[in-house]
Amino acid sequence: MMSANTLVCGLIANPIGHSLSPLLHNTLAERMGVDLAYLPFPVREAERLGEAVHGAYALGIRGLNVTVPYKMAVLPFLCGLDRAAEQIGAVNTLLRTDQGYLGCNTDLPGMERLLKREGISLRGEPVLLLGAGGAARAIAVMAALHGASELTVLNRSAERAEQFVSELQSRFPGTCFTAAGLDGWRELSRQDYIAFQCSSVGMYPYTEKSLIPETDFYHKLRCGVDLIYTPSETEFMRRLSAAGREALGGLDMLLYQGVLSFELWTGRSVPEALCAELRACLQRELSRRERE
């Protein structure tokens, strides 16, 4: 039961009804014995985002997650950024300080934690990104920081992919960047790319779609991660598995970025064993939704 001492946290997004974050954080608080309540806060009018952030601060809300479409739009309303958020230019977590909300990014360390768990190293490896939006930017920065030998960005708009790459090249001269439209996969010269599907293509309800449907493309990959978590197995993942490649879904990244946000807000460390329990809980909820 909530009281005057309850830490209140929440999610700012639009739309928001599909989010698993309330289930994740409220279950986590219960398991960890933390007096915390996590609530969804839909912000349906983008021009009122600043009011929402300042209002949350005035009400004493401890922290917020921020997702589509506000990860970059929220930046002017913050008192500062942590290192990951500065590198990426986007935030997904707000932490209350005496000066205002500090913008943090747990997407990057969340993916790092997932890759470490799976024994996947990016150092000296070729990395391929599908998409050139905010999620792709976090993965690109992570790959460059971890010493990827090359980073190829394929996007429906080749011009957008080139702009995306030009923004990163000067900051990471040790990484070889390439940009192209989706047909650029035919020019890929290697068979061992570590791929990240960063677009919304394949998300529920359009579950039969993938950015690149051609089977030959998937034989150029060593493994792949789809950042989408609804459905739990995307068309991208199915095609990877059919090619005999390892396929990871977005549920794990959701889990780890959420756990890291919780740790920031509470100062408590979440053990890996509990992360496994939480993943099973989230998977059950996803399966229930997919049956409906």
Q: Which residues are catalytic?
A: 71
CA separation for the pair 175, 127 (Å, rounded): 10
Q: Annotated binding residue at 107?
A: yes
Q: Annotated binding residue at 10?
A: no
Q: Annotated binding residue at 19?
A: yes
Beta bridge partners of 93: 65, 104
Strand ordering across the sheet containing 7-13: 36-42, 7-13, 63-66, 93-97, 100-104, 80-81
Q: Annotated binding residue at 257?
A: yes
Token pair recorded at residue 38: 């996590």
Q: Annotated binding residue at 92?
A: yes
Q: Annotated binding residue at 229?
A: yes
Query: First-to-last CA distance in the chain?
Result: 30
Q: Annotated binding residue at 132?
A: yes
Exposure string for 136-166, b = 16+ CB within 10 A, e = fewer: bbbbbbbbbebebebbbbbbeebebbbebbe
List all residues 6 or more positions away from 62 whose beta carbon is below 8 Å from its beta carbon: 7, 8, 9, 36, 96, 265
Q: Annotated binding residue at 63?
A: no
**Helix, strand, or coil (residue 42):** strand
CB atoms within 10 A of CB 97: 12
Q: Annotated binding residue at 250?
A: yes
Q: Annotated binding residue at 20?
A: yes
Q: Annotated binding residue at 135?
A: yes
Handedness of CA 271, 94, 117, 27 (dihedral sign): positive
Please calculate the CA angle 234-239-244 and round it to the nearest 5 degrees: 125
Binding residues for NADP(+): 131-135, 227, 250
Residues making up the binding site: 19-21, 67, 92, 107, 131-135, 227, 229, 250, 257
Which parts are annotated binding residues for shikimate?
19-21, 67, 92, 107, 229, 257
